[in-house]
Amino acid sequence: MLVKDILKCKQKGLVTAIPNMTIRQAMELLIKNRISSLPVEDDDGKLIGIISDKDIFRKIFETRGDYRVFTVGQLMTTDLIVGLPDDELSYIAGLMTHNRIRHIPIVEKDRLIGIISVGDIVKTQMENMEVENRYLKQYLSGSYHP
């Protein structure tokens, strides 16, 4: 299965951040939207980073709670690992596992078009297993007719 197939099924409305956004504003977006990362775009809409709840949590711990002076631009990861719409989902899963990350921004022509999470991969794998399981049960019971 390709990344673009997963993106078609996901809800529209990608939530993003900007570099000068406060960490409090970023946390509000994360909590309100029940997500755990925010792609960060510049004024021209170009993807320049990503910030996750883990990045914020780490800074809160390091500063003993004095995180309010930081902006998204100061905490975001800028060394990005991105995917393309035509990438196989198994490739994206491998990137996540190898790099120990939970989200991969998907870009097309230097523009952010979506984000794939570990949850998206697990959900897709479970759906595929359910379909395969159903066919196998039908085949074994003799009720499968192609």
CA separation for the pair 62, 139 (Å, rounded): 57
| Residues 112 and 105 sit within 8 Å (Cβ to Cβ) | yes
- pLDDT, position 73: 97
Looking at residue 66, its pLDDT comes to 85
Contact yes or no for 56/75 (Cβ under 8 A): yes
Q: How much is the pLDDT for 130?
A: 67
Within the chain, which residues score under 50 in pLDDT?
none
pLDDT, residue 71, reads: 96
For the whole model, what pTM was predicted? 0.83
Domains of the chain: 3-117 (3.10.580.10)
Distance of CA 41 to the CA centre of its chain: 15
| Nearest Cα to Cα of residue 71 among 108, 21, 7, 29 | 21
* Torsion sign over Cα 87, 126, 143, 141: positive
